[in-house]
Structure 1
Amino acid sequence: MRYPLSIKQIRKNNKRVEFVGSSYGLFCFTGFYLGEDDCFDRYVIWNPSIRKSVTIDVPYQDCICEYGDARKNVVVGFGVCPKSLDHKMVRINMLGIPYEYKKLGYKHDRFVRVDVFTLSGGVWRRPLTKLTSKWFHIYIYGQTSVVVNGFIYWLSLYKNASAIISFDLTSEEFTKIRVPHKVSHYHYELFKLRESLGVVQWGGSKESYDVWLLDNVSKSFIKLYTFTLPNRWKVVGFRDNDQLIIEKGDEYSVDNGVRRYVAELVAYEPDSKQFNKLGFNAGCYSCTSYTESLLLLDQPDTL
């Protein structure tokens, strides 16, 4: 599958393209792009099944707000609203308060600014609801967001404890969800599992893992099972049959005398506790299921 020209331009210009998320058969990527006359934060929404993409450029001057450079500490989420099928991007900018603002009496170390882009509207705007002032200390991890059932989820730190922040793509409301077993030395990763939010949790040793599933009604987590992994192996996603996709990272190859790291993807069956090779020798930050769609069919082709 060939990437659209807009993504190739980012890779050629900046050498780095970040994956934002996927929803309804669409993928969203972002990267910094330096044009002839200006520089941009570029976002690309791509439907590989119909080979169409839409490019959204945010000029550098639009990234400057009253508290500093919005390109720093920015977390982006992408999803399709299930009711309107409109494409939305959410930029959460966690801004440090400059010294001159602290002299004026500001007590918080950070501000949170949120902007929402809808493809139908074509402009960035503030969401319908605002983050409350008590959330000023929130810090959202740079991990790729997870989109499930009309919600975007991010991991976050809130008052020095882990939490999950959700954004309703329909009402544009933010909600804070407690992580299971809220212990400071635990680590978490978010994934899509059974059309709900799955959480993989492990301790400092990173050998014993717990898998939790969010109940969409009670908004509480149910523990599914516990499993163990060798050192340097990691979970990167789930298959539709609930098997975990594991990056097996303990093999090396020698190429012209140079030792190179080789990552192999395997599937883990929770019931039988067996690992099965998937036939891919490639590193992977995260994996997600894919469903074909016709979204973007009515949009101008920017390939």
Structure 2
Amino acid sequence: MSFIPKPHPCQNIITSLTDDLQLQILKRLPLISLLRSRTVSKSSQATVSSPNTSNSTNPSLYIRYYDRTNKTEQYLTAEDETFGLHFLNNIIPFQYASKTAYFRVVGYCQGVVCFSDDLFDSMHMVVLWNPSIRKSLRLLVPDCEQTWLGFGVCPVTHDPKVVRIVYVIAMEDPPLVEVFSLASRAWRKPCNRLRNTIQVTWSQVCFNGAIHWVAYEKRIDTTPRCLIVSFELVHEVFDEMSLPDGLAQQHVSNLSISTRKGQLTVIEYDMEKGKEGCGVWVMKEYGVMGSWEKLYVIQLPGLLRRVVGFRMNGDMILALKNHELVFVDCAGNVKSLGIYGNIRSFFVGSYMESLILTNQLDQ
């Protein structure tokens, strides 16, 4: 008589649930448990592998910098409550090395980082990397001068997308725009185009289902005016958002964009020698021009180089001119993090565990 093994009790329980209920249960599991649950049954494997199954139960901060002493890129995570401690215990290995010094961080969204190897050379490779599951994907990008990128993850399909904007020499021609979708694995044109007078910068953030760039409008007879250009990731359309006059009239190099405590945020720099400081503006109600508010100003004469990001409690994380990474608490106290690196290499984002790229083979 042949022996037929009985199915594991957990398998019977899981497979008897509806797909929606399975998905809700799986979303509440730690990432390790999620990956293990793929072996329970074929149906659970398909559910866990779905891009809709993302886990964000362990929010913390993701930090990247270039160690100038050892000439290596460092990637690590830190709990917000113990920020500044235990960094060495949370180093994340990364299998790629830049052909020059270090990668540009194009953007970060839903646990996936987008790198471009173009800081000191022509653009040729983009890497999508999920550090929580150590999965990555490389994209070859056509090498063109005057190329800018954007990165985000569609909030509906959880599909990572890379936006490529190529400016042509003639001002009267609109920029060429293509969108790469991981689901389609192809570049395609979006539904609408940027106006030919709009120039985006590298300062960007993915927020509220759209990529946002600091940009400016080129005008022949008057000074350029700064604005925010957005690219909505569900319907793949561009839009423009006005800035208050105090920001719109700034030189574009004096502005950068971020998020702070769930609000779209613009940093306004004053880098006059001996007066270095920055102001923090937030959009209280997303999409409402009149809701912009200047929260506070930080003055660090002779020290400030740039704002790198924000802690979850709103504390500002800064790069100083001596290549040190610090944060400023709500009382204005500057606290060292004990991290030194190339100023342009510093990146801090809100880290989350995610299953995006689970089914991708490292390339």
Give the alignment's TM-score, normalised by structure 2: 0.65
Q: Does 1:194 align with 2:194?
A: no
- Distance across 2 between alignment mates of 1:161 and 1:155: 11
When the two chains are superposed, the root-mean-square deviation of aligned CA atoms in Å is 2.2
Shift, 1:218, TM fit: 1.7
Identify which of 21, 28, 31 aligns with 2:107: 21
> What are the Cα deviations for residues 17-61 of structure 1, in whole angstroms up to 9, with x where unaligned?
3221111111111226xxxxxx98211110111111011123xxx
Q: Which amino acid aligns with 1:282?
A: G
- Distance across 1 between alignment mates of 2:113 and 2:352: 11
Q: Does 1:117 align with 2:117?
A: no
Residues 83 and 76 (structure 1 numbering): CA distance in 2 closer, same or farther, change over 3 Å?
Answer: same
User: 2:149 — aligned with what?
Assistant: 76
Q: Does 1:93 align with 2:179?
A: no
Q: Residue 152 of structure 2 contacts residue 206 of structure 2 at CA under 8 Å; is this kept in 1?
A: yes
Instruction: Name which one, 1 or 2, has greater alpha-carbon Rg.
Output: 2
Residues 147 and 84 (structure 1 numbering): CA distance in 2 closer, same or farther, change over 3 Å?
Answer: same
- Distance across 1 between alignment mates of 2:325 and 2:115: 23
Shift, 1:94, TM fit: 1.1
Q: Which amino acid aligns with 2:144?
A: R
Which of the pair is proportionally richer in helix? 2
Q: Does 1:287 align with 2:357?
A: no
Q: Residue 267 of structure 1 contacts residue 275 of structure 1 at CA under 8 Å; is this kept in 2?
A: yes
Shift, 1:301, TM fit: 2.9
> What are the Cα deviations for residues 249-295 of structure 1, in whole angstroms up to 9, with x where unaligned?
24xxxxxxxxxxxx11111123x111112221223433222111111
Moved over 4 A (4+): none
Q: Residue 236 of structure 1 contacts residue 284 of structure 1 at CA under 8 Å; is this kept in 2?
A: no
- Distance across 2 between alignment mates of 1:201 and 1:40: 29
User: 1:301 — aligned with what?
Assistant: 362
User: 1:169 — aligned with what?
Assistant: 233
User: 1:237 — aligned with what?
Assistant: 309
SS in 2 for 1:288: strand
Q: Residue 271 of structure 2 contacts residue 277 of structure 2 at CA under 8 Å; is this kept in 1?
A: no
Q: Structure 2 unaligned runs (5+)?
A: 1-91, 219-223
Q: Residue 236 of structure 1 contacts residue 245 of structure 1 at CA under 8 Å; is this kept in 2?
A: yes
Shift, 1:95, TM fit: 1.0
Identify which of 207, 216, 224 aligns with 2:276: 207
User: 1:249 — aligned with what?
Assistant: 321
Q: Which amino acid aligns with 1:241?
A: N
Using CA pairs below 8 Å that are at least 6 residues apart, which structure has the higher relative contact order? 2
Q: Which amino acid aligns with 2:230?
A: S
User: 2:22 — aligned with what?
Assistant: none
User: 1:216 — aligned with what?
Assistant: 286
Q: How many residues were matched structurally?
A: 254
* Residue correspondence of structure 1 range 34-183 to structure 2 within 5 A: 41-58=124-141, 63=142, 71-97=144-170, 108-131=171-194, 135-143=195-203, 145-159=204-218, 160-180=224-244, 181=246, 182-183=248-249
Q: Which amino acid aligns with 2:288?
A: S
Shift, 1:202, TM fit: 2.6
Which of the pair is proportionally richer in strand? 1
Q: Residue 94 of structure 1 contacts residue 113 of structure 1 at CA under 8 Å; is this kept in 2?
A: yes
User: 1:256 — aligned with what?
Assistant: none
Shift, 1:169, TM fit: 0.8
SS in 1 for 2:175: strand
User: 1:3 — aligned with what?
Assistant: 94
Give the alignment's TM-score, normalised by structure 1: 0.77
- Distance across 2 between alignment mates of 1:17 and 1:49: 19
Q: Residue 307 of structure 2 contacts residue 318 of structure 2 at CA under 8 Å; is this kept in 1?
A: yes
Q: Structure 1 unaligned runs (5+)?
A: 33-38, 64-69, 98-107, 251-262
Q: Residue 232 of structure 2 contacts residue 238 of structure 2 at CA under 8 Å; is this kept in 1?
A: yes
Shift, 1:111, TM fit: 2.8
- Distance across 1 between alignment mates of 2:311 and 2:150: 22
Q: Residue 281 of structure 2 contacts residue 293 of structure 2 at CA under 8 Å; is this kept in 1?
A: yes
Shift, 1:204, TM fit: 5.3
SS in 2 for 1:231: coil
Q: Residue 116 of structure 1 contacts residue 125 of structure 1 at CA under 8 Å; is this kept in 2?
A: yes
Q: Residue 41 of structure 1 contacts residue 57 of structure 1 at CA under 8 Å; is this kept in 2?
A: yes
